[in-house]
């Protein structure tokens, strides 16, 4: 039997949709674990990226972050906090926020700093204050990249929340970890499939957001294609 047949059989078993720890419950829990850290990370990283991109100070810091953030093993970070903080909200919230910040920060910086200097000059020449320059000119132009950063972060957080089940968290990872423990491939495959579906939905969501929020001209420019 293949991955898909195991996964499909398990997902279509109605018993798994009822009771405690059912599929809908874990999907909701998983979304909860993802949305909150993402919001917090965006609240921190977007302003920071804008400031660094606009003023140019601290750019070296961003480059260092860009080079090194992927080296941090997510499981290690989760477990380290679990050992120190026990199994509380902060144990999963802190690492997820920390891991969600770099892609947003890097891409926001890149977007703001990469605005055509002629355009920035024109804005300055028109007498715009820094604040107006940022909000009227730089941020709108940087929007495609900011969205790419948010999308990368969202994918990352979905994946890490899956692993967090190992330290006792609920969510879709629960099916995977419990199934691995009981050697039942059904929930393992089913959980994995649901996580993949969730990730693809996140991609689709951001594609829609891109269409809605970003002006057509900028969208064409940004189509050079970056996965992150």
Partner 1 sequence: MIWSWIPQNWSLIWQLTWENAKLGVLSALYGLIISLPLGIIAARWRWFYPPVLTVVNVIYAVPSLALWIALIPAFGLTDTTVIIGLTAFSLCVILPNVVAGLRAVPAPVRQAATAMGYGPTRRLVTVELPLAAPVIIGGLRVGVVSSISLASLGQLIGVSSLGYLFIDGLQRSFPTEIYVGLICVIVLAVVCDLVLLGVRRLLTPWQPRRQVALAQWPGLQRVALRRRAA
Partner 2 sequence: MLTRSRTGGIAAIAAIALAAVAACSSSSSSSSSSPSASASSSSTSSNPLSQGGSSTSVVVGSANFPENELLATVYAQALQAKGIKVSTKLNIGAREVYYPQVEKGTISIIPEYNGTLLTVEVDKTSTAKTTAEVDAALAAKLPSSLQVLKSAPAQDSDSITVTQATANKYHLKSIADLKPYAANMALGAPPEFKTRSDGIAGLKATYGLTFKSFVPLDESGPLTLAALQDGKVQAADVFTTTPQIVTDKLVSLADPKFNFAAQNVIPLVYKPAMNATIINTLNAVDAKLTTEALLQMDNAVITEHASYSTVAAGFLQAEGLS
* Residue indicated by tokens 């809605």: 212
**Positions that interact with partner 1 (CB under 8 A):** 1-3, 6, 63, 66-68, 70-77, 79-80, 82-84, 106, 110, 113-114, 116-117, 121, 145, 155, 158-159, 162-163, 166-167, 173, 176-177, 180, 185, 188-189, 191-193, 195-196, 199-200, 202-203, 224-228
CA 24/CA 32 separation, integer angstroms? 12
Total Cβ atoms within 10 A of residue 103: 26
Question: Binding partner of residue 20 among partner 1, partner 2, none, CB under 5 to 8 Å per kind?
Answer: partner 2
Size of the site for partner 2 (CB under 8 A): 15
Residue 13 near partner 2 by CB under 8 A: no
CA 88/CA 166 separation, integer angstroms? 14
**Considering only 22-30, 106-114, 178-186, 208-216, which stretch makes contact with partner 2 by CB under 8 A?**
178-186
Among 83, 196, 205, 207, binds partner 2 (CB under 8 A): 83
Q: Are 228 and 148 in contact (CB under 8 A)?
A: yes
Residue 82 near partner 2 by CB under 8 A: yes
Of 129, 168, 146, 121, the closest CA to residue 50 belongs to 146
Of 186, 178, 213, the closest CA to residue 26 belongs to 178
Residue 86 near partner 2 by CB under 8 A: yes
* Residue indicated by tokens 């891109």: 210
The token pair that represents 32 in the structure block: 């909860």
Q: Are 28 and 36 in contact (CB under 8 A)?
A: no
The token pair that represents 195 in the structure block: 């996580």
Least distance from partner 1 to the Cβ atom of residue 42, Å: 18
Total Cβ atoms within 10 A of residue 210: 17
Return the number of the residue (43 or 119) whose C-beta is nearest partner 1: 119
Return the number of the residue (53 or 186) whose C-beta is nearest partner 2: 186
**Considering only 67-75, 79-87, 146-154, 208-216, which stretch makes contact with partner 2 by CB under 8 A?**
79-87
Residues in contact with partner 2 by the rule CB under 8 A: 20, 82-83, 86-87, 167-168, 174, 177-178, 180-184
């Amino acid at each position: 039997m293949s991955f898909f047949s195991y996964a499909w059989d398990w997902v279509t078993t109605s018993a798994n949709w009822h009771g405690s720890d059912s599929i809908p419950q874990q999907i909701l829990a998983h979304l909860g674990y993802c949305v909150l850290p993402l919001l917090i990370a965006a609240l921190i990283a977007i302003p920071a990226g804008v400031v660094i991109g606009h003023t140019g100070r601290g750019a070296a810091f961003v480059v260092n972050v860009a080079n090194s953030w992927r080296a941090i093993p997510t499981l290690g970070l989760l477990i380290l906090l679990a050992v120190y903080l026990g199994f509380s909200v902060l144990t999963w919230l802190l690492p997820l926020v920390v891991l969600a910040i770099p892609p947003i920060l890097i891409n926001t910086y890149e977007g703001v700093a990469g605005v055509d200097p002629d355009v920035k000059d024109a804005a300055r020449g028109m007498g715009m204050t820094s604040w107006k320059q940022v909000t009227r000119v730089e941020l709108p132009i940087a929007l495609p990249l900011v969205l790419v950063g948010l999308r990368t972060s969202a994918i990352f957080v979905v994946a890490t929340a899956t692993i967090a089940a190992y330290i006792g968290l609920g969510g879709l990872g629960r099916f995977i970890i419990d199934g691995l423990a009981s050697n039942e491939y059904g929930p393992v495959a089913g959980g994995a499939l649901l996580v993949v579906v969730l990730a693809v939905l996140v991609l689709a969501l951001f594609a829609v957001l891109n269409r809605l929020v970003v002006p057509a001209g900028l969208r064409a420019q940004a189509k050079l294609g970056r996965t992150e």
